[in-house]
Amino acid sequence: MHGKMKYIIGLLIGIAIVAVLAFVLQGQSQKKKNIQPLDTGILKKGGNAVKAETIYVQNGKNQIYGQMYKPDGDGKYPLLIYSHGYGYNYEEYDLQEIARHGIAAYRFDFCGGSPGSRSDGRSTDMSVKTEATDLEAVLNTLKELPYIDSDRIYLSGNSQGSFVSTMVGISHKDEIRGMFLLCPAYVIIDFRKMYGDFQETAQFGNMVISEKYVTDAEEYDLYNEMKNYEGQVIIYHGTRDGMAPISYSEKAIQYFPNAELYPIKGAGHMFGGRASAEIESDIIEHILEN
Q: DSSP labels for 136-184?
A: HHHHHHHTTSTTEEEEEEEEEEETHHHHHHHHHHHHTTTTEEEEEEES-
| Pairwise CA distance, residues 92 & 113, whole Å | 12
pTM summary value? 0.85
Half-sphere exposure of residue 264: CA atoms within 13 angstroms, side-chain side:
24
User: Is the pLDDT at 232 greater than 80, yes or no?
Assistant: yes
Residues forming beta bridges with residue 156, ordered by sequence position: 82, 180
| Mean pLDDT score of the chain | 86
pLDDT digits (tens, 9 = 90+) for 104-159: 999 999 999 999 999 999 999 999 999 999 999 999 999 999 999 999 999 999 99
For residue range 154-186, list pLDDT tens digits in order: 999 999 999 999 999 999 999 999 999 999 999
The pLDDT, as a whole number, for residue 117 is 94
- pLDDT reported for residue 34: 57
pLDDT band of residue 253 (cuts 50, 70, 90) is very high
The pLDDT tens digits for 28-83 are 333 334 544 444 455 555 567 999 999 999 999 999 999 999 999 888 999 999 99
* pLDDT for 197 beyond 90: no
What is the model's pLDDT at position 196?
Answer: 83
Note the pLDDT of residue 46. 56
Q: Give the pLDDT score at 211.
A: 94
Give the residue extent of every domain in the chain: 1-32, 35-289
The residues facing 153 across adjacent strands are 79, 176
Q: Which amino acid makes up residue 260?
A: E
Amino acid present at 186: Y
The topology (CATH level 3) of 35-289 is: Rossmann fold (3.40.50)
Beta-bridge mates of residue 58? 63
Interstrand relation of 77-83 and 104-108 (parallel, antiparallel or unpaired): parallel
pLDDT band at 12 (very low <50, low <70, confident <90, very high): very low
Q: Model confidence at 272, in pLDDT bands (50, 70, 90)?
A: confident
**Tell me, what's the pLDDT at 43?**
54
Q: Residue 13 in 3-state DSSP?
A: helix
